[in-house]
């Protein structure tokens, strides 16, 4: 079978987008694109009186916070960097689509990543970007306010949402770790749908980028899960931009393309990579290639982090578990997440999924700056991630194990 090139994949996906009609970036109303002029079509059906209002406009979401790279075309006297159209094209080709991306990247990396940029221009860009993007100290009070306003995306299970204090955080990386069939892909499919919900219904009211490295993305599942959320499947499907990655280089390249797609003027709520590590593990094998593998994985994760910072999108990635050879017979878990320290340091929230009996699955907070190491039970159903069929939501248990857990 002829495999499409990455650009074909993105092109096909982009052409499916009914919402983000590629606005001329030069004619955007301001550098901050606000929700009221959003062209997002709502995928919710009328669910009837008991349901919250389904046609809520997207105005309940805060402004998209990034500033387009075009901003740096302004002369230095007007706060820009005096870049030419050619400079902008080169920046976009290297995945630098926002002023934030320049501000967040060290000058050495800018010089290494952007073709023939030159030191003087790189420095000019850098100083314009750091003037435009506030990156200094702030009070903890201001940070608390920001966190209180942060949008969280529902997992589809009230129990899991409670465990995660509201759901999946936007603007940071959440890693789903687990062996095969533990529910990682089902989780990804559910978030691809739920993140399109209005904020008032537990979503982030935006489109989704989905990078599939294992060939397990199934639009049919999106249709089924959309029905649970009373959303119109055809709109939900059209709001998901999917690309299949065939090797680790291609996976990094797709992320650069994703940065360009995300800067198209439409809001993207989530970027999903299922799996983040698999291709790196197959492309680099053995101890001899370990350093190269980790270096490339780190490059990929840094880019993901930058995209998450720039666009405020939720980043959800999956990871496998591997045998923990360091564990002794009696001590230490028998398995651990792949990707070593590089993965451990790149992900803000690490969730470990494991199988229970039947459709039951257990999610354990493996590492988080805010959540205790507690766990919760959820189910894999036709609706995606769900609470126990036929039950009301339950509270998560702290540090306990489910008695029926067969593992
Ligand atoms: N339509 C469906 N209805 C109910 N359960 C499903 C459905 N599709 C998949 N599943 C469940 O999801 C499991 C696979 O989970 P998946 O997320 O693909 O695992 P992985 O962690 O390997 O990505 C299947 O074994 C099945 O239990
Ligand atoms: Mg999977």
Asked if residues 67 and 132 have their Cβ atoms less than 8 Å apart, the reply is yes
Ligand 1: atom nearest CA of 382 is: 3
- Give the number of other CB atoms < 10 A from CB of residue 278: 19
Q: Is 275 in the pocket of ligand 1 (CB under 6 A)?
A: no
User: What is the rounded distance in angstroms from the CA atom of residue 168 to the CA atom of residue 183?
Assistant: 16
pLDDT at 88: 93
Ligand 1: atom nearest CA of 178 is: 21
- State in Å: Cα 203 to ligand 1 middle: 22
Structure tokens at 332: 């230490």
Q: Is 380 in the pocket of ligand 1 (CB under 6 A)?
A: yes
Q: Is 184 in the pocket of ligand 1 (CB under 6 A)?
A: yes
Q: Is 381 in the pocket of ligand 1 (CB under 6 A)?
A: yes
| Cβ partners under 8 Å of residue 379, min gap 6 | 157, 359, 360, 361, 385, 386, 387, 388, 389
- Report the chain's terminal Cα–Cα distance, integer Å: 40
User: What is the rounded distance in angstroms from the CA atom of residue 364 to the CA atom of residue 182?
Assistant: 12
Burial (Cβ within 10 Å: 0-12, 13-18, ≥19) of residue 44: buried
Domains of the chain: 68-132 (1.10.150.20), 144-386 (3.40.50.300)
74, containing H or E segment: none
Asked if residues 211 and 247 have their Cβ atoms less than 8 Å apart, the reply is no
Q: Is 213 in the pocket of ligand 1 (CB under 6 A)?
A: no
Q: Is 180 in the pocket of ligand 1 (CB under 6 A)?
A: yes
What DSSP assignment string belongs to 206-251? SEEEEEESSS---HHHHHHHHHHTTB-HHHHHHTEEEEE--SHHHH
One digit per residue, the tens of pLDDT, for the chain of length 407 reads 333 333 323 332 333 333 333 333 322 222 112 222 344 465 764 444 334 333 333 434 444 568 899 999 999 999 999 999 999 999 999 999 999 999 999 999 999 988 888 899 999 999 999 999 988 898 999 999 889 889 999 999 999 999 999 999 999 999 999 999 999 999 999 999 999 999 999 999 999 999 999 999 999 999 999 999 999 999 999 999 999 999 999 999 999 999 999 988 889 999 999 999 999 999 998 889 999 999 999 999 999 999 999 999 999 999 999 988 776 666 778 889 999 999 999 999 999 999 999 999 999 999 999 999 999 999 999 999 999 998 765 444 444 334 344 33
Asked if residues 352 and 376 have their Cβ atoms less than 8 Å apart, the reply is no
pLDDT at 344: 95
User: What is the rounded distance in angstroms from the CA atom of residue 198 to the CA atom of residue 230?
Assistant: 12
DSSP assignment, residue 51?
Answer: S
pTM of the model: 0.83
What DSSP assignment string belongs to 317-355? EEE-EEE-TT--SSSS-SEEETTHHHHHHH-SEEEEEEE
Q: Give the pairing of strands 335-337 and 321-323.
A: antiparallel
User: What is the rounded distance in angstroms from the CA atom of residue 19 to the CA atom of residue 25?
Assistant: 15
Q: Give the pairing of strands 349-355 and 360-367.
A: antiparallel
Name the percent of the chain lying above pLDDT 90: 69
Mutate-to-test residue for ligand 1 from 179, 182, 183, highest number of ligand atoms within 8 A of CB: 183
């Amino acid at each position: 079978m002829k495999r499409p090139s990455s650009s074909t994949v993105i092109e096909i996906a982009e052409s499916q987008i009914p919402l983000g009609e590629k606005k001329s970036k030069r004619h955007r109303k301001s550098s901050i694109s606000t929700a009221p002029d959003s062209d997002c079509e709502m995928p919710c059906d009328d669910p009837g009186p008991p349901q919250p209002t389904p046609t809520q406009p997207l105005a309940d979401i805060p402004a998209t916070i990034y500033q387009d790279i075009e901003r740096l075309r302004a002369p230095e006297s007007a706060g820009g960097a005096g870049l030419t159209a050619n400079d902008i094209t080169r920046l976009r080709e290297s995945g630098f689509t926002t002023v934030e991306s320049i501000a967040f990247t060290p000058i050495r990396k800018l010089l290494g990543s952007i073709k023939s940029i030159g030191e003087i221009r790189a420095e000019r860009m850098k100083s314009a970007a750091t003037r435009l993007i506030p990156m200094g100290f702030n009070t903890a009070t201001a940070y608390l306010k920001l966190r209180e306003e942060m949008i969280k995306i529902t997992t589809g299970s009230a129990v899991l949402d409670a465990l995660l204090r509201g759901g999946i955080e936007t603007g940071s990386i959440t890693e789903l770790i687990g062996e095969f069939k533990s529910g990682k892909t089902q989780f990804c499919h559910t978030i691809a749908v739920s993140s399109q919900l209005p904020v008032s219904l537990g979503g982030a009211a935006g489109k989704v980028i989905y990078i599939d490295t294992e060939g397990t993305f199934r639009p049919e599942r999106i249709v089924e899960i959309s029905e649970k959320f009373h959303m119109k499947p055809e709109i939900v499907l059209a709001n998901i931009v999917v690309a299949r990655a065939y090797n680790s280089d291609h996976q990094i390249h797709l992320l650069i393309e994703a940065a360009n797609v995300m800067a198209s003027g439409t809001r993207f709520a989530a970027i999903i990579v299922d799996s983040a590590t698999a291709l790196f593990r197959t492309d680099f094998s053995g101890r001899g290639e370990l350093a190269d593998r980790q270096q490339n994985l780190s490059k990929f994760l840094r880019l993901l982090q930058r995209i998450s910072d720039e666009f405020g999108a939720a980043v959800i990635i999956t990871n496998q578990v591997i045998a923990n050879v360091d564990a002794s017979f009696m001590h230490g878990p028998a398995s651990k997440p792949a990707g070593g320290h590089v993965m451990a340091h790149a992900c803000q929230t690490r969730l470990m999924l494991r199988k229970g009996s039947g459709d039951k699955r257990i999610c354990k907070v493996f590492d988080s700056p805010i959540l205790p190491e507690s766990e919760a039970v959820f189910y894999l159903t036709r609706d995606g991630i769900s609470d126990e069929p036929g039950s009301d939501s339950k509270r998560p248990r702290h540090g306990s194990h489910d008695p029926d857990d067969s593992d």
